Amino acid sequence: MNQFGVILALIFSLIIAIFAIANQHPIIINYLYGRTEVSAIVVILGAAILGALVIFMINLVKNIRTRLQLRSLRSEINQLKEKLHGIEKERDALLAQVGQLQEEALAVEGEKEAAGEAAAGESHPPPVETTTEQQQGTAESAVDESAEQEEIKEKIAGEEEHSAGEEEVLEAEAETEKREDRER
């Protein structure tokens, strides 16, 4: 595009030069405080040069404004990226806290169920020994549940940003309830 502008300027300059050479007769220029007689070539070339300078100055001002605006937009983008990074860190910390609270809630529910079963029974049955495999299975199911719940929370958070996806949240909750029913 820049080469096209240079070529166009050269063609326009050539046309002005031909026009100036064709008009060599002297003309009288009236000022507010006097008169001057000059060749038409000087007036034509002077007007062309002044026009070129005016256009150059206008373009220079536009370029400066554009660069300043670009600089401010880039700094705004960097600030928004930093803010986004901070929000993502905060989200990760909150998700970790949610996971811990869910584990604590599961532990409290387990204790309540054990206390309820002990109170319901007249005699205390002997403690049930669990094998390492059973403990690992219980731990794996708890980890699976917390991972599923985190996935659901991430889906919910994403759906809050995109309100059109409420159906996906309902489906995810329904799937989680079905999985919990199957595990029981």
User: Is the CB of residue 43 less than 8 Å from the CB of residue 29?
Assistant: yes
The pLDDT tens digits of the residues spanning 21-69 come to 888 888 888 888 889 898 888 888 888 899 989 999 999 999 999 999 9
Alpha carbons 149 and 175: distance in angstroms, whole number: 11
Query: Is this structure's pTM higher than 0.75?
Result: no
Listed by start position, the domains of the chain span 8-117, 147-184
The pLDDT tens digits of the residues spanning 106-150 come to 988 888 888 877 777 644 455 555 555 555 555 455 556 666 677
Q: How does 125-163 read in b/e, with b if 16+ C-beta sit within 10 Å?
A: eeeeeeeeeeeeeeeeeeeebbeeeeeebebeeebeeee
